[in-house]
Homo-oligomer: A and B are copies of this chain.
Amino acid sequence: MKRITIRDVAKEAGVSVTLVSFVMNAKRDSSGRLDCPVNPETADRVLEVASRLGYKRNFAAASLRSGRSNTIAVIPNDISNKFFAGISKCIEDKAHKLGYTVFFASSDEDGEKLGNIMEAVIAHNVDGIIVAPCTGGDAAINKVVDSKVPVVLLDRDVEGLKGVGKVLLDDVAAGKMATDLLLDEGFKKVEMISYTLGISSLSEREAGYRQAMTARGLAEKVHYTTYGLADSDVERIIRDAVARGVDAIFLPTYSLSALVLATLKKLGLKTPKDLAVVGFDESDIYSLYETTVSHIVQPLKELGEKSVEVLIDMIHGKAPESIILTPTLIKGGSTQKA
């Protein structure tokens, strides 16, 4: 069961390997014609022989020779994360449509691991990388950018990084939107819980919250907890907040939202009566919770597709683009003033 090579096809079709290579790489133009400097009849014969013999291109060989691979790498922090799971699919679909294969690998919010992965994917000759940066990963990203491999930052920005594409959410607007919803409903003591992760998306959502509060002359208060260790912190924060008569709380990530809802339930507290809540990202829990929960939705499909578009444009030599997309607010019962 030897593998069929371009040479086998050439021999069988009675043409040179060059011709076969041309034909196999030719894209069909709009009229369905093969667009390559080959006699159409010859081309048809080659195509027929190739499919009869079951020829499959060997990407390793093509990649070695051409330096390209038609493969892009996507490096989220955590594939199992809800936001990235959704976006990955959009990225994959779009990339396939454009003739690219996608590689996934997660950094687990670990800068060093991100570095290793970056090296690995570059060794695999990927044509470009879509990455959600994590704290401590700047050096790794810089190295890649320096080595001229196109990079698109997704979801999280890195200050002062030149030459990279960016596809981000307008996180300040998201924070403002969420906070304004609460304030418009008449809640006054609005606080926020965030992670100490040091990533742009979180700090900008916080900035949005602060802007909205100060715009109405209200006092801001943000609680911080550590990613992965938030459980006990959050319970303490919620207890304390309710005791201090806090009206409402804004959660800038899905995991915090889920955690807070669970904590409220555990403590026997009701939203919005005891504490109004605005959550982040989409999830079944927002519609299934006792009262439905207001939340900010990111345009996953656009985020995914745009990041692929920007990256592939860069691969084709275009200048890196920066795209900021707008979030949507879904109103639920958790912000309804009695």
Binding site for B on A (CB under 8 A): 1, 56-61, 63-64, 69, 71, 78-82, 85-86, 88-89, 92, 101-106, 119-120, 122-125, 146-148, 258, 261-262, 265, 283-285, 287-290
Contacts and interface: CB of A to CB of B under 8 A. Distances in A.
Contacts of A124: 59-60, 71, 101
Contacts of A287: 262, 265
Contacts of A289: 288
Given A56-B123, A78-B89, A101-B105, 20 more contacts: A1-B146, A59-B124, A60-B60, A60-B69, A60-B125, A61-B64, A79-B104, A81-B85, A85-B85, A89-B106, A92-B104, A92-B106, A101-B103, A101-B120, A102-B105, A103-B103, A261-B288, A265-B288, A283-B284, A288-B289
A262 B290 contact: no
A105 B92 contact: yes
A274 B279 CA distance: 30
Contacts of A265: 287-288
8 contacts: A58-B123, A79-B79, A79-B88, A79-B89, A80-B88, A101-B120, A261-B284, A283-B284
Nearest to A147: B1
Contact of A56 (B63, B64, B71, B122): B122
A273 to B, nearest CB: 15
Nearest to A124: B59
Which of A86, A119, A125, A284 lies at the interface centre, i.e. has the most chain B CB atoms within 10 A of its CB? Answer: A284
B85 A119 contact: no
A284 to B, nearest CB: 5
Contacts of A86: 80
Nearest to A62: B60
Contacts of A104: 79, 88, 92, 102-104
In the A-B complex, the 4 residue pairs with the smallest Cβ-Cβ separation, listed nearest first, are A85-B85, A60-B63, A60-B64, A80-B89
Given A64-B60, A101-B105, A79 B69 contact: no
A60 B78 CA distance: 27
A261 B89 CA distance: 26
A79 B95 CA distance: 15
A101 to B, nearest CB: 6
A81 B69 CA distance: 28
Contacts of A61: 60, 64
A146 B54 CA distance: 13
Which of A80, A92, A103 lies at the interface centre, i.e. has the most chain B CB atoms within 10 A of its CB? Answer: A80
Which of A56, A147, A285, A288 lies at the interface centre, i.e. has the most chain B CB atoms within 10 A of its CB? Answer: A288
A112 to B, nearest CB: 13
Which of A64, A79, A265 lies at the interface centre, i.e. has the most chain B CB atoms within 10 A of its CB? Answer: A79
A146 B125 CA distance: 29
